[in-house]
Structure 1
Amino acid sequence: MYNPFFSSMMLAIEAQRVIELRLVRLAWGGSEGLAEAQSMVTEKMHAAGEAMTTLMLGGSPETVIARYREHVAFNTKRLTAA
C-alpha cells in the first residue's frame, strides 16, 4: 500500500541534503556559486511547471512527489560528484 506521508517525509529529508550542498557551493562563491544560483532558480521553475502540468493532465500528487524525489536524487548526485 502506498503511503503519501512517508514519501512526503522522505522528500523533505532528502531535500535537506541538497540544500546543505547548495549552501556550501553558494558560500564558496565565484563562478561555481553563481552558476549554482542560476541553476537552482531555473530548476525550481521547471519542476514547478512539470508538477502543474502533471496535475492538470490528471496525474496524482503521488506522481508529483515521486518526480520531485527524482530531481532531488539527481541534484544530490551532481553536487557530491564535484
Structure 2
Amino acid sequence: MFSLFQNLASLAFESQQVIFLRTMKMAAGGPKAEAEARLMVAEKLAAAEDATMALMSGKAVDHVVASYRRRVRANSRRLMKG
C-alpha cells in the first residue's frame, strides 16, 4: 500500500514538471508548439489505452501508475533537452 501511495505522490510531482515544461513550449508558439500539442494528445490516448488493457488483464493499480511514471519521466527528459 505504501508503494502505491509513494508512486502516486511521485507521479503527481513529476507530472507537474511536465505540465510546466509543455506550457512553456506551447506558449512560445510556432510549429514546435503545434507538434508538442499533437504528441501530447497521442501520448495521452496511448497511455489510457495501455492502462485500460493492463487493468482489464488483471494487473495491479501500482503497475499502471508505474507505467505512467515511466512515460512522464521520458517526457520530462525530452522536454528538458529543448
> What TM-score results when the alignment is normalised by the length of structure 2?
0.96
Give the unaligned 5+ runs of structure 2. Answer: none
Range that drifts further, 2-11 or 48-57: 2-11
Distance in 2 separating the partners of 1:37 and 1:18: 13
Aligned length: 82
Letter in 2 for 1:65: V
Shift of 1:6: 1.1
Runs in 1 of length 4+ with deviation above 6 angstroms?
none
Aligned residue for 1:23? 23
Q: Which one has more relative contact order, counting CA pairs under 8 Å at least 6 apart? A: 2
| Mapped pair 1:47 → 2:28 | no
Letter in 1 for 2:65: I
State the Cα RMSD in Å.
1.1
Give the unaligned 5+ runs of structure 1. Answer: none
Aligned residue for 2:7? 7
Aligned residue for 1:38? 38
